[in-house]
Amino acid sequence: MDWLVSLTGAGLVMAALRDLFHTLWHPTRRGGLSRLIMSGLWRASQRVPARKRVAGLVGPLAMVTVVVMWACTIILGWAIIYWPHMPEAFSFGSGLKPAQHADLLDALYVSLVTIATLGLGDIVPTEDWLRIVAPLEALLGFALLTATVTWVLEIYPALARRRVLAIRLALLRQADPSAHQMDGALGASLLESVATEVVRVRVDFTQYAEAYYFHDDQNHAPLASSVGYAAELAQRGQAAARPDVRLAATILAGALEALATVLDEQFLHTGGTPVEVFAAYEADHGRSLS
């Protein structure tokens, strides 16, 4: 029975590690529980009357919540591994009575001290297998800290690329290039560069799905409100006389269609056309805010 309890704890640890792996290191970032937490917080924010005030907090808060969930699950899992073997498999410091330190709270204490690499030494394992397992938990605690820092360092450049594209499209909309300006070498170069940035954003949404739950400030041209203009540019370019402009416009249209596919499959689930998907994206991130 003791080993069955310990195996249950090991299962919790493995579940947390699997979720961490699929969220941070797997190319498609299809973490299970972490995705549920993020999407749940996003949907909850939509029901808040003053959503405009809290929307910008959803992404960072979701990341913190996920990291706390990973840490708590790993700590609890390791505590359940230790618990059935206390106190006989542990050595206790002077002043501690082993019979009084055999409950789950003490196992949680050992797990916390171990994963934080504090090494207080008042309760230490004596069984050979536990002397191997305990340092593994310490290594896992260090890995979790490193993974969290890596996650933050990865997500913010992706957000910056998205915002750069959004601001560029907003500026193009303000400039409103004429048909004559678009039907030339400058127009082809412009459409090609926008297509490249759209592809980067699509890859970011695939690689860093959590970026979707970061809301762009309405005062700084959110992509949700600007991406429709990219589709308009593609349509205008496809009607141009120059073949290089038409080619660049076709590439841009294909990039936008791929972006719409990613948004719809992973987040919106409308099953509609790219125009409908972008409208749903704007409703989810832009116009629905008040």
What does the mean pLDDT of the chain come to?
Answer: 88
Beta bridge partners of 125: 90
CA distance 73 to 124: 21
CA distance 161 to 155: 10
Q: Are 173 and 229 in contact (CB under 8 A)?
A: yes
Query: pLDDT digit string (tens) for 142-160?
Result: 999 999 999 999 999 999 9
Query: pLDDT digit string (tens) for 237-289?
Result: 999 999 999 999 999 999 999 999 999 998 999 999 999 999 999 988 865 44
Q: pLDDT-based confidence at 182, cuts 50/70/90?
A: very high
Question: Is pLDDT at 290 greater than 60 in this prediction?
Answer: no
Q: What is the pTM of this model?
A: 0.84
CA distance 256 to 230: 8
Residue 49: CA count within 13 A, CB half-sphere: 0
Of 6-20, 48-62, 63-77, the least confident: 48-62
- The angle, 0 to 180 degrees and rounded to 10, between the axes of the packed helices 185-207 and 128-175 is 150
CA distance 24 to 27: 8
Burial class (CB in 10 A: 0-12, 13-18, 19+), 198: buried
Query: pLDDT digit string (tens) for 183-237?
Result: 999 999 999 999 999 999 999 998 888 899 998 766 667 899 899 999 999 999 9
Among 81, 212, 230, 83, smallest CA distance to 158 is for 212
pLDDT for 83 equals 92
CA distance 117 to 16: 19
Q: pLDDT-based confidence at 23, cuts 50/70/90?
A: confident
Question: Is pLDDT at 51 greater than 60 in this prediction?
Answer: yes
Q: Are 46 and 289 in contact (CB under 8 A)?
A: no
Q: Would you tell me how many other CB atoms lie within 10 Å of the CB of residue 35?
A: 21
* For the chain, percent of residues with pLDDT exceeding 70: 93
pLDDT for 149 equals 92
CA distance 288 to 231: 21
pLDDT for 58 equals 87
pLDDT for 220 equals 61
Beta bridge partners of 124: 91
Largest CA distance in the chain: 89
Q: Where are the alpha helices (DSSP H) in the chain?
A: 2-24, 32-46, 51-82, 104-115, 128-175, 179-182, 185-207, 223-238, 243-263, 274-282
**Is the peptide bond prior to 87 cis by the omega test (within 30 degrees of 0)?**
yes
Question: Is pLDDT at 53 greater than 80 in this prediction?
Answer: no
Two tokens, residue 115: 């994963």
Tell me phi and psi for residue 91, to 5 degrees: -105, 135
Q: pLDDT-based confidence at 105, cuts 50/70/90?
A: very high
Question: Is pLDDT at 28 greater than 60 in this prediction?
Answer: no
pLDDT for 237 equals 94
Q: pLDDT-based confidence at 50, cuts 50/70/90?
A: low
Query: pLDDT digit string (tens) for 109-152?
Result: 999 999 988 877 788 899 999 999 899 999 999 999 999 999 99
Kindly state the average pLDDT of the residues 46-75: 85
pLDDT for 29 equals 53
CA distance 8 to 1: 11
Is the Cα torsion angle 175, 214, 275, 207 positive or negative in sign?
positive
Among 43, 63, 230, 265, smallest CA distance to 158 is for 63
pLDDT for 56 equals 76
pLDDT for 289 equals 47
